[in-house]
Structure 1
Amino acid sequence: MNTQNHHKNIVEQFTKQASGYSSIRSHSDSLEKLIALSSASRKDDVLDIACGSGIVSCEFAKYTRHVTGIDMTQGMLDEAKKLQLKQNIKNITWQMGDVENLPYDDGSFSIVVSRFGFHHFLNPFKVLSEMKRVCKPGGIVIVVDVSLPDSKIKKYNEMEKNRDCSHVAALSLTEFTVLFEKVGFKNLNTDFYSMRIGLKEQLEASFPSDSEALKGMIIADAGVNDLGINVTKTNDEYSLHYPIHIFSANN
């Protein structure tokens, strides 16, 4: 898929998903991990790449001097502004833009973070390179996303492409490690948490191409775990447990 068509796909998907995205409770999980990992303080200027509905941006703004959130979907930025207003936060700037060509000078930010965006990028190397470029020497770059062993990636991507047509590919743990090395980072650190989402909640917030096939694929994976999301069943309710990895490196 060419870049223009892919960007159109993303905007269409996330314009539809905008209000539902913020309503998924687990999307606010483990924010304290990111704050602690980054050693965020009032000296820091933060850039949130593909900031979406502003959940990460608003959390960092509580601890830092200023946060800039950039995204290509106006609907998501509108949701981010609502969250900012609700939390009465002043020190955030929102910007529409392309994360492969960031409109910022070299070394503009001390913390550069991206959460749940990398599986949407056609060129993860270019995005991570841009994140490194705009990060100050001695600053930190943090990428948070679903990541699985190589053996689970194919089936997982099949499921996610049905659930969200703007999904490109989740990167395996090996692929993320290689990516950071290729961009020039040394001493990559990793952390992990599991993000639980109920199947019903996930389906209500998604716009799959074939909802019945998606639902069947997930239910069939309970106790099997070919998809890598450890599907469980309790009292006729299914839950997905997404393996979220945090990759961080000093610039």
Structure 2
Amino acid sequence: MDIKKHNKNIVEQFSKQANSYTAITSHSDALEKLISITSASKNDHVLDIACGSGIVSCEFAKYSNYVTGIDMTQGMIDEAKKLQTKLNLENITWQIGDVEHLPYDDNSFSIVVSRFGFHHFLNPLKVLSEMKRVCKPNGIIMVVDVSLPDSKIEKYNEMEKNRDCSHVAALSLTDFSRLFKNLELKNVNSDFYSMKIELNEQLQASFPCDSKALKNMIIADVGIDDLGVKVEKINNTYFLHYPIHIFSTRK
């Protein structure tokens, strides 16, 4: 896939999603886990890769000395600035940029984090390599994203590519293990949480290629779980449970 075309697609998609992204309450789930795992403190300068609407950046800013958030979509950065103002946080800088070529010096940040970005990257190894480069020695590198067993990946990606055409591919647990190993990042710790989203809430915040086909695909997966998101029906309402994994290691 052409990188320029893909990046344009991401900007178009997330410019449309910007207003509704932060409103999805489950996007703020488990933030305390990220703070706890990293032991973020006033000694830390944090970099948030593909920071989106700033949910993770703003959470880290409450505990750390300074946070830099980088994303390629101006609309998302605008939403991040609104959240920053709402929370009265002054210790954050936002930047438009390409995460495959981070505009920062080597060994600049004590915590480098990316949440919900890796499934959009054409070259996740390059992005992780850049995260490693800008992380200080003994600093923490953290990646948070949907990850599934290999057997669930194909159907999950089919669903997500319909829901969001900028989706490239979710990485399996095997894929993530291989990424860290290839960059000689050892002693990788993992944690997990399930992100519950009501189907209509998800659809209203998305711009699917075929919303009817997407909804039918999800509803048909109740009790089967080919998609890997454990779709359930409660009182005529459908819920998806996205399996979120947290991978962290020290440089």
The TM-score bracket by the shorter chain reads over 0.9
Residues of 1 paired with 2:20 and 2:206: CA distance?
Answer: 8
* Alpha-carbon shift at residue 150 of structure 1 (Å): 0.2
2:29 partner letter: D
1:178 matched residue in structure 2: 178
Question: Do structure 1's residue 238 and structure 2's residue 238 form an aligned pair?
Answer: yes
SS of 1:147 mapped into structure 2:
strand
Question: Do structure 1's residue 249 and structure 2's residue 226 form an aligned pair?
Answer: no
1:127 matched residue in structure 2: 127
The aligned length equals 251
1:97 partner letter: G
* Alpha-carbon shift at residue 123 of structure 1 (Å): 0.2
2:176 partner letter: F
Which stretches in structure 2 are left out of the alignment for 5+ residues? none
Please show how residues 43-192 of structure 1 align to structure 2 within 5 Å. Answer: 43-192=43-192
Residues of 1 paired with 2:125 and 2:194: CA distance?
Answer: 25
2:71 partner letter: D
How many percent identity over aligned positions?
75
SS of 2:171 mapped into structure 1:
coil
Residues of 1 paired with 2:94 and 2:103: CA distance?
Answer: 13
* Alpha-carbon shift at residue 246 of structure 1 (Å): 0.2
* Alpha-carbon shift at residue 183 of structure 1 (Å): 1.3
2:9 matched residue in structure 1: 9
* Alpha-carbon shift at residue 184 of structure 1 (Å): 1.5
Residues of 2 paired with 1:175 and 1:21: CA distance?
Answer: 27
What's the Cα RMSD here?
Answer: 0.3
Runs of 4+ aligned structure 1 residues displaced above 6 Å come to none
Which stretches in structure 1 are left out of the alignment for 5+ residues? none
1:20 matched residue in structure 2: 20
Residues of 2 paired with 1:30 and 1:96: CA distance?
Answer: 26
Q: How does the TM-score come out when normalised to structure 1?
A: 1.00
Residues of 2 paired with 1:61 and 1:94: CA distance?
Answer: 12
Question: CA offsets, 1:40-59, max 9 Å, x none?
Answer: 00000000000000000000
Residues of 2 paired with 1:70 and 1:57: CA distance?
Answer: 10
